Structure 1
């Protein structure tokens, strides 16, 4: 078959989607959204994007009113988020007797809520497409701009939830992933959707593969630049630092049981002190690894037996770094709770601490609590946690300064490092993904951490209760990891940070804004030119 013949076959297929109506059209939109999900971790079936986004473009091309545009976008997003976020409901099964009523919201309600963002976006896109007569490449660019605007809004409004951004599908393809050092993950999402939707631009009065080939050429240029960026960048290790990352693999159902807490703690201590401990400088435990309250004060005599128990496996000259909850007295005299990180030395001293600053809605606190039923509690907390002050350097003995992140905090691009003073050398992420079992969630979470390392140009160290624990260097290469569901230690060096600070680390989403506005102006200019203005 000739290229021209194949282009006409593509046009015939496009016509079938364009002419779809009613429930059939919404079903096709949901199916296309689900296929787009398979491009994300852990499947990484990226070629499916070259089907999913042209289908979305063709379905919207067949719409002639904003209500249909909204419904198509909503259906695509629900189809995308239900299989992408199904794992959230797994957390409810740790105590399904208490949280059964939240199951429909976790499975369908949250995807529908997130789908409203895309529904509004496609409604605006459809209006602009008809009002300005967008077609061809301008139509494709406008849809890509809409998609990334929706992702950005979803990542920032209502506390933000930038999970499963479409660019995360590229985490195994490191040459392509390097562009996030310039544009950030939202910029990679913009390029991804634009390149994937360009085949739809070739369907018109004269069907052609040229737009699709142009997109592949852009992808090749991005990958070529990324390969050049990585070439020869082996990155040495920080001298004199050996980390022991401990992954105890304690099931969430056992983690907080009164008759199991002490055994869980002893298990961590035993694992930490296993063969090779004398060659380790720092031991790293996961989020809330210590199932008791700790204090940031060294004068708290009530916790002395606990700190002595913990510091027996703090290496000489280094520290034990662990997650634990912290109890403090607020200004009104009432107790306040924090999800915290502590660093303890062999002398029994708490030398550094950090409080989580970006809390999980409904997991660690209840938003709009006054409007909710009395007695309702967050899934992961008996009482609402309080938020810490934000990113800051963690100064530890025997190792360069780190920027600590607890669990969910690592998912927010551009918000993982303090922006004042000297930049920390590495990112330290403690997490507990045991809530989600053997699902896609922990794989998605680990992929997100890889992108943060590339964006900021620093290595990332991750300790997870049930996995995936590991160390990622400043170019996104996984130096070592413990698989999901395994129990064990990972003894590993700390890589050096990148020689040059990435543009994204310096300028954040300003570069994305310039990209977005430049492409928008190109679409506007094309519209004016076509209308003879």
Structure 2
């Protein structure tokens, strides 16, 4: 019978007790993390989530489910975010001892959300296909909460496992990353609905088996619909903004060398030389990465000579767009009160013309805890990981910049790109997103590659092209369908001369009504679960 093998597995997992149960959950979580970019072993999700539900069958009390979910989340988090530890090795003498605590601490914190999801599933006490739906609902709800609570960290959301396939990503245009996660969990956990905790078939035939079959074929349906959408999409080579040629510059400066006093001016001269490499005469705008200028600018006469130097990278009649640390007034022009006698500093994105005059400014609003500021500064005395003793200040939020010769742009710095529904100003939607970043902190790990996947997903959700420029990481061009049109790989230096894609037109874009769509998805799936519980 088709249920024979799942039945034996269900009996084995349900029989595990004590530490073996929770150690197995951690191993299953680690197994599920191998489906994430860049490994993409997505079939591993099936044994991981089926095993998790069968472990749930062996519990005596629902509250044990929280520890089970936390154990699964810990294993998933350690494998999924191990790359965070690389940042503590940039200055290993000062911070290296914190590396294991940072990885385990972050993984353990993220696992709290999986603990809440499993506890909710256990409280429902649904069986069969209904329980699979319950798992999908509460897992996605936990992922959504994770995108907001404690400033939010929506990294490695379950739907990101499909980033290797542009066709699969098309669902995000309608349902967002949350819809992709729903679909993924339903398919991954579906086989667990075929059997009961004693290994016997779970009401063979009828609605339960039909639901399992539907869940299993969902990825194929989504892929087919995605292929149809891409087939009807315009040719990316022709669907571009006229008279715009961008030069993306990836200098590939080692993080340990970036802020050395004896090298900083050399870094500036090197990136200028890259910017003015052959073909410069055809370029209309040059884009540099986050903190490409390793000096704290004040935009007054003290920095006039430096601004004139960097402006030499701006094409005639064009602009230089760059990340820069700066001090002074906030983005809205108001000079805010300095902290502890020090002027306010900002992680900013600035635009300069050929004279060195400032054409536009954007200040990062979603700062990295411990990287750009230290939470609970009154209680914690150690310094942040980035250069400088003081914390960065936070800007007002997503902003659309009007730039000469370019469509309106939404600048995002570093991990601001990872937050679904929070990357553009809804009152003034841009024609493109410019994401500048510095992934040198994380070495040759999965982190920079997962970061790039977030940019792909935001492009599909918004229907807006993303131009991504990294110090090192992955620089590239992603159109509004999530197709990567060109890129510079991690660990490479060079330039990329590219046309600017136009946004998707005449398509229903998820982000315009993202909040209501998530609520609608949750409501529909909960209703489906209640309907299926009578057949399981």
TM-score bucket of the superposed structures, by smaller chain: over 0.9
The more displaced of 279-288 and 89-98 is: 89-98
Give the 3 Å change call, closer, same or farther, for CA 336–501 of structure 1 in structure 2. Answer: farther
Does 2:318 align with 1:318? yes
Aligned with 2:297 (options 294, 297, 307): 294
- Whether the aligned pair in 2 keeps the contact of 1:328 and 1:337 (CA below 8 Å) is yes
Does 2:277 align with 1:282? no
Q: Secondary structure at the match of 1:371?
A: coil
Does 2:362 align with 1:354? yes
Aligned with 1:385 (options 378, 383, 392): 392
- Whether the aligned pair in 2 keeps the contact of 1:431 and 1:464 (CA below 8 Å) is yes
- Shift in Å at residue 105 of structure 1? 2.4
Counterpart for residue 404 of structure 1: 411
Q: Secondary structure at the match of 1:184?
A: helix
Q: Secondary structure at the match of 2:92?
A: helix
Following the alignment from structure 1 to structure 2, what is the Cα–Cα distance between the partners of residues 418 and 328? 24
Following the alignment from structure 1 to structure 2, what is the Cα–Cα distance between the partners of residues 383 and 230? 47
Aligned residue pair count: 516
- Whether the aligned pair in 2 keeps the contact of 1:459 and 1:471 (CA below 8 Å) is yes
Aligned with 2:3 (options 1, 7, 11): 7
Counterpart for residue 52 of structure 1: 48
Following the alignment from structure 2 to structure 1, what is the Cα–Cα distance between the partners of residues 356 and 240? 29
Q: Secondary structure at the match of 1:291?
A: coil
CA offsets per residue over residues 458-510 of structure 1, 9 Å max, x none? 11000001120000001011010001001111111111110135331210132
Aligned with 1:62 (options 54, 58, 61): 58
- Whether the aligned pair in 1 keeps the contact of 2:85 and 2:102 (CA below 8 Å) is yes
What root-mean-square deviation, in Å, do the aligned CA atoms of Structure 1 and Structure 2 show? 1.6
- Shift in Å at residue 210 of structure 1? 5.0
Counterpart for residue 248 of structure 1: 251
Counterpart for residue 195 of structure 2: 203
- Shift in Å at residue 98 of structure 1? 1.9
The more displaced of 138-147 and 327-336 is: 327-336
- Whether the aligned pair in 2 keeps the contact of 1:184 and 1:509 (CA below 8 Å) is no
The more displaced of 490-499 and 324-333 is: 324-333
- Shift in Å at residue 231 of structure 1? 1.2
Following the alignment from structure 1 to structure 2, what is the Cα–Cα distance between the partners of residues 402 and 336? 25
Does 2:337 align with 1:332? yes
Q: Secondary structure at the match of 1:124?
A: helix
Counterpart for residue 154 of structure 1: 146
Counterpart for residue 37 of structure 1: 33
Aligned with 1:462 (options 435, 446, 468): 468
CA offsets per residue over residues 100-144 of structure 1, 9 Å max, x none? 343232121111111112112212221221xxxx11111111111
**TM-score for the superposition, normalised by structure 2:** 0.93
Following the alignment from structure 2 to structure 1, what is the Cα–Cα distance between the partners of residues 406 and 535? 61
Aligned with 1:440 (options 446, 466, 481): 446
Aligned with 2:516 (options 510, 523, 526): 510
- Whether the aligned pair in 2 keeps the contact of 1:38 and 1:45 (CA below 8 Å) is yes
Give the 3 Å change call, closer, same or farther, for CA 312–530 of structure 1 in structure 2. Answer: closer
Counterpart for residue 269 of structure 1: 272
- Whether the aligned pair in 2 keeps the contact of 1:393 and 1:401 (CA below 8 Å) is yes
Counterpart for residue 351 of structure 2: 343
Following the alignment from structure 2 to structure 1, what is the Cα–Cα distance between the partners of residues 222 and 535? 30
- Shift in Å at residue 212 of structure 1? 4.2
Counterpart for residue 484 of structure 1: 490
Moved segments of 4+, more than 6 Å: none
Aligned with 2:120 (options 121, 124, 128): 124
Which residues of structure 2 form unaligned runs of 5+? 330-334
The more displaced of 65-74 and 36-45 is: 65-74
- Whether the aligned pair in 2 keeps the contact of 1:37 and 1:83 (CA below 8 Å) is yes
CA offsets per residue over residues 172-206 of structure 1, 9 Å max, x none? 11111101111111221111111111110111343
Counterpart for residue 426 of structure 2: 419
Aligned with 1:193 (options 185, 197, 206): 185
The more displaced of 99-108 and 462-471 is: 99-108
Does 2:102 align with 1:82? no
CA offsets per residue over residues 49-74 of structure 1, 9 Å max, x none? 11111111111122121332111101
Aligned with 1:452 (options 452, 458, 461): 458
Q: Secondary structure at the match of 1:240?
A: coil
Q: Secondary structure at the match of 1:241?
A: coil
Following the alignment from structure 1 to structure 2, what is the Cα–Cα distance between the partners of residues 119 and 348? 53
Does 2:18 align with 1:22? yes
Counterpart for residue 73 of structure 1: 69
Q: Secondary structure at the match of 1:293?
A: coil
Q: Secondary structure at the match of 1:494?
A: coil
Q: Secondary structure at the match of 2:476?
A: strand
Counterpart for residue 133 of structure 2: 141
- Whether the aligned pair in 2 keeps the contact of 1:202 and 1:210 (CA below 8 Å) is no
Which residues of structure 1 form unaligned runs of 5+? none
Q: Secondary structure at the match of 1:110?
A: helix
Following the alignment from structure 1 to structure 2, what is the Cα–Cα distance between the partners of residues 311 and 503? 37
- Whether the aligned pair in 2 keeps the contact of 1:341 and 1:355 (CA below 8 Å) is yes
Counterpart for residue 213 of structure 1: 213
- Shift in Å at residue 228 of structure 1? 1.6
